[in-house]
Amino acid sequence: MLSCHQAVKRNGHDRSMNASHNDRILMENFEPESAPMRIAVVTETWPPEVNGVALTLSKLVQLLSQRSHTIQLIRPRQDKSDASSDQFGWSEMLIKGLPIPHYPHLKLGLPSKKALVSSWSQKRPDLVHIATEGPLGWSALQAARVLRLPVTSDFRTHFASYSKHYGVGWLSKPIMAYLRKFHNRTACTMVPTHALQAELQTCGFENLRVVARGVDTQLFHPNQRSDSLRKSWQADEETIVLLSVGRLAAEKNLDLIVTTYQSLKQSGRPVRLVFAGDGPYRATLETRCPDAHFMGMCNHAQLAELYASSDLFLFPSLTETFGNVTLEALASGTPVLAYNCAAASELIQDAHNGWLVQGEDPQRFVLKALEITQKASTLQNARHHTHASIRQLDWLEITRQVENIFRSTVMSSMKP
């Protein structure tokens, strides 16, 4: 606290304010807040599209906006009725897009360098953040270089790993070369795990910063467990409900989930299998496993109930850069069985809040599932540790980390 003797100037006249020793004017010595930034965010996916990139990016942008930053969102137009919104502290610039093969509901933004240079010349952002590396992202990178704007990026999707699942594995090296060229032209690339950071560094990627994904620990919580939902799956207290959440696609290794379920069932375990999500592989899964419950696309509230009402989350994917579903399952009180990669390798403490399978051997995955479902107490004990194990990964802390990276990037760009 400070005592002060000050003069206040009003209407051109100095008015002296004298305070005696017994009549001090007390002022709080507040640390000044950092100035808000104008941030241009470029992405080729955005809600209502349902995927990890769209959902986590929208949450981050929402919280940055709440922290008084001005956001300009640049994204493809999702359909003919899609209209941009423009309000105080928030604006959208919609670009023409083309459907992505195998995912017609998702769009690739068309090259838009000229439009972006024009827009940013009129209202210059302090920083451009590129979340996706498609044609729109490349255009944004080129436009920012023309205008000498600082750029940060995200590495959110491991396209090189996905390529082999669509019969174009030969594209893996050129895809990685393009991604390396793309990200090394930005001041900083954010990656979600230390393992991915190490992998990309060996491939020649530079200026990588690890920023984990966040989770809404109030929404995704064990108290969302629903007996009525379990009854709709014909599951009682003794039943082990296996859950998979995410896009139903070949690269997710979902056949292993079906194999695991069938092995448990043949061994006499009282099991049910639930899939939440949709995608091009759904018909195949329905044919292979007609007794599974397919919930289709679910909103956040529905997902929170699904996670908490299950007993074991199966996540056999080997192509994830992170895997938000692992985080959501743990927050919801559901232990996870996963391969020792991506988020699982950093979030799961083996035999504590879940189980990690080493290597890529599907048989090991099935055997581990058989082992941990032998006694009901094994899953119950793990359930007690799940929520507490990720409580520190709330979205506000993650947003602060990203904000600090943005601010330091802007400051560095101002140095001669």
Q: How confident is the model at residue 164 (pLDDT cuts 50, 70, 90)?
A: low
Q: What is the rounded average pLDDT for all residues in the chain?
A: 87
What pLDDT does residue 159 have?
A: 54
What pLDDT does residue 337 have?
A: 98
- b/e code 316-327 from CB counts within 10 Å (16+ = b): bbbbbbbbbbbb
Reported as a single tens digit per residue, the pLDDT across 345-396 is 999 999 999 999 999 999 999 999 999 999 999 999 999 999 999 988 989 9
**Residue 158 pLDDT > 60, yes or no?**
no
38-214+395-413 maps to which CATH number?
A: 3.40.50.2000
pTM for the model: 0.77
**Residue 43 pLDDT > 50, yes or no?**
yes
**Residue 3 pLDDT > 60, yes or no?**
no
Determine whether domain 222-389 maps to CATH 3.40.50.2000.
yes
What pLDDT does residue 333 have?
A: 97
What pLDDT does residue 369 have?
A: 98
What pLDDT does residue 108 have?
A: 77
- Among 3-17, 252-266, 338-352, 391-405, the range scoring the smallest mean pLDDT is 3-17
Q: Which residues contact 128 (CB under 8 A, 6 or more apart)?
A: 39, 40, 42, 120, 140, 144, 149, 150, 151, 152
Domains 38-214+395-413 and 222-389 share a fold: yes
Conformational region of residue 167, where left means phi above 0, alpha means psi within -120 to 50, and beta covers everything else: left
d(CA 370, CA 240): 12
* Over residues 119-140, mean pLDDT: 96
What pLDDT does residue 255 have?
A: 97
Most confident by average pLDDT, 40-49, 94-103, 150-159, 304-313: 304-313
**Residue 23 pLDDT > 70, yes or no?**
no
Domain ranges of the chain: 38-214+395-413, 222-389
**Residue 402 pLDDT > 70, yes or no?**
yes
Reported as a single tens digit per residue, the pLDDT across 308-347 is 999 999 999 987 778 889 999 999 999 999 999 888 999 9
* Percent of the chain scoring above 70 in pLDDT: 87
Reported as a single tens digit per residue, the pLDDT across 226-242 is 999 999 999 999 999 99
Q: How confident is the model at residue 174 (pLDDT cuts 50, 70, 90)?
A: confident
Q: How many CB atoms lie within 10 A of CB 305?
A: 18
What pLDDT does residue 4 have?
A: 38
Reported as a single tens digit per residue, the pLDDT across 180-213 is 999 999 999 999 989 899 999 999 999 999 998 8
* Percent of the chain scoring above 90 in pLDDT: 69
Mapped to the 3 state alphabet, what secondary structure does the chain carry? CEEECEEEEECCEEEEECCCCCCCEEECCCCCCCCCCEEEEECCCCCCCCCHHHHHHHHHHHHHHHCCCEEEEEEECCCCCCCCCEECCEEEEEECEEEECCEEEEEEECCCHHHHHHHHHHCCCCEEEECCCCHHHHHHHHHHHHHCCCEEEECCCCHHHHHHHHCCHHHHHHHHHHHHHHHCCCCEEEECCHHHHHHHHHCCCCCEEECCCCECCCCCCHHHCCHHHHHHCCCCCCCEEEEEECCCCHHHCCHHHHHHHHHHHHCCCCEEEEEEECCCCHHHHHHHCCCCEECECCCHHHHHHHHHCCCEEEECCCCCCCCHHHHHHHHCCCCEEEECCHHHHHHCCECCCEEEECCCCHHHHHHHHHHHCCCHHHHHHHHHHHHHHCCCCEHHHHHHHHHHHHHHHHHHHCCC
What pLDDT does residue 156 have?
A: 81
What pLDDT does residue 222 have?
A: 97
- Among 6-10, 130-134, 189-193, 263-267, the range scoring the smallest mean pLDDT is 6-10
- b/e code 107-116 from CB counts within 10 Å (16+ = b): bbbeebbebb
Reported as a single tens digit per residue, the pLDDT across 96-122 is 887 776 666 667 788 999 999 999 999
What pLDDT does residue 30 have?
A: 40
What pLDDT does residue 86 have?
A: 83
What pLDDT does residue 165 have?
A: 46
